[in-house]
Amino acid sequence: MSELTPSVPSEPTRLTVEQYFGLVEAGALTEEDRVELLEGVVVAMPPSDPPHASAVTRVSAALFEAVGRRAVVRTQCAFVAGRSVPEPDVAVVPGSFADYDTTHPRSAFLVVEVADSSLPQDRISKGRIYAAAGVPEYWIVNLRDGVVEVMREPEAAAARYRERRITARGEQIELAALPDAAVAVSELLPGH
């Protein structure tokens, strides 16, 4: 009688950022594919339902108003972070619009993800990616609990944020990198 050996799941193929963009340029990946590169793995993004879309629009508008022309507010655009190319729901990046005419940003003042079904991935995987990239501030607009989770003080080598706090309606969040820019939590959350 032969022994059966349990099969071991294979490690997914890890792509470089250049290989990923090569797939996009070759047309193998398109906008309709709704994917992003996370730690070298192409990952499907969940579809956007009305509460998610509403929150993304609210966050983008509130940050654009708060930041003005001191930085660029990008919505659901590529951000290069090590071996990852996430498409955060909103990112506040340094410079001007023209700085990103031919390249994607590799640094950000703030990255925001709107989360419901993606909450575990946004907390764990994306939190690690943004901390490792040295993004000074990461917000999760948590639609499940109606709060905004604010992470600050990245430890790039450990790929984690040292500070994490929960903010609720009635509170304001001041941007760490632009201290004169603040938004009300209630402006970011849909519904009541």
We report the CATH number of the domain holding residue 174 as 3.90.1570.10
Is position 140 within any domain? yes
The predicted-structure confidence for 23-33, as pLDDT tens digits, reads as follows: 989 999 888 88
The predicted-structure confidence for 73-118, as pLDDT tens digits, reads as follows: 999 999 999 999 999 999 999 999 999 999 999 999 999 999 998 8
For 137, residues 6+ apart whose C-beta sits below 8 A from its C-beta are 109, 110, 111, 150, 151, 152, 175, 176, 177
Distance CA 103, CA 110 (A): 18
Is position 166 within any domain? yes
Judged by DSSP in three states, 23 sits in: helix
How much is the pLDDT for 4?
A: 60
Between 48 and 77, name the one with better pLDDT: 77
Tokens representing 44 are 């499907």
Between 99 and 45, name the one with better pLDDT: 99
Q: What is the pTM of this model?
A: 0.90
Is position 18 within any domain? no
Is position 4 within any domain? no
Is position 20 within any domain? no
How much is the pLDDT for 8?
A: 64
Distance CA 145, CA 168 (A): 9
For 80, residues 6+ apart whose C-beta sits below 8 A from its C-beta are 17, 104, 105, 106
Average pLDDT for 51-62: 96
Is position 27 within any domain? no
Number of domains in the chain: 1
User: CB 34: neighbour CB atoms within 10 A?
Assistant: 13
pLDDT level of residue 45 (50, 70, 90 thresholds): confident
Residue 67's domain comprises 47-188
